[in-house]
Amino acid sequence: MKTPVSFEFFPPKTDEQRAQLDRTVEKLKVYSPEYVSCTFGAGGSTLNHTTETVQRLKQAHGLDAAPHLSCVGGTREEIRALLDQYRELGCTRIVALRGDLPSGMGQPGDLRHASELVQFIRSEHGGHFHIEVAAYPETHPQARDALSDLRHFKEKVDAGANGALTQYFYNADAYFAFVESARKLGVTIPIVPGVMPISNFGQLRRFSEQCGAEIPRWLEKRMLAYADDADSIREFGADVVAALCEKLVAGGASSLHFYTVNLARPTQSVLSRLR
């Protein structure tokens, strides 16, 4: 039985980036994704781009597109208007996140936590939207500890989330331990592993430092051994991530969510090994 997949894209800002995204989407559509998601910029700087991209993914590419929605820095009225806009576009999925307050921005907004955002979406639109929330197998970087992070996750689920997408990781045991702990707290929704294919290791290290994802020491040392050999990094990276995906699916993951960074090749390389 084929494991369902979904893909995350970010909204392009230039004509060149739009053309790149279109090429990527065309190549990844052959995997019949369950849906695709579209991120937003810090502080809402690309909210208009997000709406445009969601519309293009739906209308030009025929995909079920789920916009990411952040509550940080926004008023209830602004969030209400966005939800209405996405519903008018025909969206039935939302990825509901707290988001980060941009540096220099003093107002956190009317809703402080993702759990409040989920509650707000439910109060405004009932069961219309399938709501995904974030989960952190290796613990949110701003969390006091793993247990308090797990309780925050449970609050989002209790508020009405339908599913969860995890931060990426390269240690399958961290995912399995998180899922087991969540199940013990009574969480029954699907917890879908987020998968980050490896193409540019320097970029991956920067991402990981920002979001708190751990790169195992053995993986970092192997990557550093390849130095500037980009082809070897890509091939080895695809082998590692494909093996991770196989382990996750064998261990019970119901589907896989790929962070594409708007590139087709790294995700294709992993999926081709799985097939």
144-173 pLDDT, tens digit per residue, is 899 999 999 999 999 999 999 999 999 999
Give the residue numbers marked as catalytic.
8
| 101 band by pLDDT with thresholds 50, 70 and 90 | low
- The pLDDT value given to residue 238: 97
- Structural domain including 151 reads 5-274
User: What's the structural domain count of the chain?
Assistant: 1
27-46 pLDDT, tens digit per residue, is 999 999 999 999 985 444 44
The rounded percent of the chain whose pLDDT value lies above 90 is 78
Strand partners, 97: 70
How confident is the model over 130-139, as a mean pLDDT? 96
Cβ pair 152, 215 in contact under 8 A: no
236-254 pLDDT, tens digit per residue, is 999 999 999 999 999 999 9
196-237 pLDDT, tens digit per residue, is 999 888 889 999 988 889 999 999 999 999 988 989 999 999
Name the strand (E) or helix (H) holding 269. Answer: helix 265-274
| 141 band by pLDDT with thresholds 50, 70 and 90 | confident
- The pLDDT value given to residue 62: 96
Name the amino acid, one letter, at 187: V
Cβ pair 197, 237 in contact under 8 A: yes
Comparing C-alpha atoms, which of 233, 51, 208 is closest to residue 141? 208
- Quick check: 1 pLDDT over 80? no
Output the pTM of the full model: 0.94
172-195 pLDDT, tens digit per residue, is 999 999 999 999 999 999 999 999
Cβ pair 98, 116 in contact under 8 A: no
Comparing C-alpha atoms, which of 230, 229, 238 is closest to residue 258? 238
CATH of the domain at 85: 3.20.20.220
